[in-house]
């Protein structure tokens, strides 16, 4: 008798215990009757972990902080968009060959467009990691004037140079004006929920403030922005959007977006009640 095992998927990162990707994708698998399981893998040694992924026959995985750039070194092929971004958040295992893609850019831009068309806007992207690269790429493609700000100015300058955009230091933000502000850093993420990535003085009425952190759903940045009468976009839209695109790359099946969103929201709302 041959034992038929479920297909295995997962998210790799460090840290990764906070990730709700397993909640989102396992809900989708159950809803569609797909025999698969999605886990979370804390990975410090990426090279060894990637060899393990191949050896175990893991069918696909999501890549999060801090591995979105380095993971490209261990893939067999990377699609054109991910190459231009310089970061991968999605890996598909096709018969032992690993293919990298990036669903962060469309996931984020679709969420942002629910509040504003970025074309012609001045957008400040805070951070310079893999997610920041995807956001800068997407915003430039959409016709926005993009400015990058990162704690390490050297890393911020490299990102800005790669995409031909401006870089600004944190010490200049008090005088900086933008139409859109996007936080791509983990500042404000559970459990350090009381922190903000930018000074409060930067937030003004009418601007759009987006935080890609989704745990908690309402970060300190978004709460302060709302109090200062800015429009806010939480991280759930991008998280579900990029996750739905990942699901479709892995399975070839249309993602049950409403079910994925409901599963994640239920967990976030329960956490808010516990912490109230």
68 in catalytic set: yes
Strand-pair category, 60-63 with 166-167: unpaired
8 A C-beta contact, residue 79 and residue 101:
yes
Coil/strand/helix, residue 210: strand
Enumerate helices (H) and strands (E) in the chain, giving the number of each. Answer: 9, 12
Residues 6+ apart with CB under 8 A from 66: 13, 14, 129
Cα separation, 175 vs 259, in Å, equals: 43
Q: Computed over its alpha carbons, how large is the radius of gyration of the chain?
A: 19
Cα separation, 180 vs 210, in Å, equals: 8
Residues 6+ apart with CB under 8 A from 45: none
Structure tokens at 92: 């598909």
The active-site residue, picked from 68, 115, 155, 177, is 68
Give Cα separations from 167 to 97, 147, 172, 272 (angstroms). 37, 5, 11, 36
Structure tokens at 142: 């959409």
Supply the DSSP symbol for 276: -
Closest C-alpha to 111, from 272, 257, 224, 266: 257
Cα separation, 255 vs 246, in Å, equals: 9
Cα separation, 170 vs 147, in Å, equals: 12
User: Looking at the annotation, which residues are catalytic?
Assistant: 68
């Amino acid at each position: 008798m041959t034992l038929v095992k479920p297909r295995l998927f997962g998210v790799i990162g460090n840290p990764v215990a906070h990730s709700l990707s397993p909640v989102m994708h396992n809900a989708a698998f159950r809803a569609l009757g797909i025999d698969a399981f999605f886990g979370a893998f804390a990975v410090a040694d990426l090279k060894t972990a990637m060899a393990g992924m191949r050896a175990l026959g893991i069918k696909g995985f999501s890549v999060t902080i801090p591995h979105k750039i380095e993971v490209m070194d261990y893939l067999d092929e990377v699609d054109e968009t991910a190459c231009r971004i310089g970061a991968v958040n999605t890996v598909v295992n096709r018969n032992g060959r690993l293919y990298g893609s990036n669903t962060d850019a469309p996931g984020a831009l679709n969420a942002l467009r629910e509040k504003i068309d970025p074309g012609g806007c001045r957008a400040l992207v805070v951070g310079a990691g893999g997610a920041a690269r995807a956001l800068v790429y997407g915003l430039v493609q959409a016709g926005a004037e993009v400015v990058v700000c990162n704690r390490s100015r050297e890393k911020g300058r490299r990102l800005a140079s790669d995409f031909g955009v401006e870089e600004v230091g944190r010490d200049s933000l008090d005088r900086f004006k933008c139409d859109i502000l996007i936080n791509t850093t983990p500042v404000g993420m559970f459990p350090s929920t009381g922190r903000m990535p930018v000074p409060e003085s930067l937030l003004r009425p009418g601007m759009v403030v987006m935080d890609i952190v989704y745990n908690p759903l309402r970060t300190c940045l978004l709460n302060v922005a709302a109090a200062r009468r800015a429009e806010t976009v939480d991280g759930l839209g991008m998280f579900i959007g990029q996750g739905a695109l990942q699901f479709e790359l892995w399975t070839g099946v249309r993602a049950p977006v409403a079910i994925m969103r409901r599963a994640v929201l239920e967990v976030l709302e329960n956490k808010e009640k516990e912490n109230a």
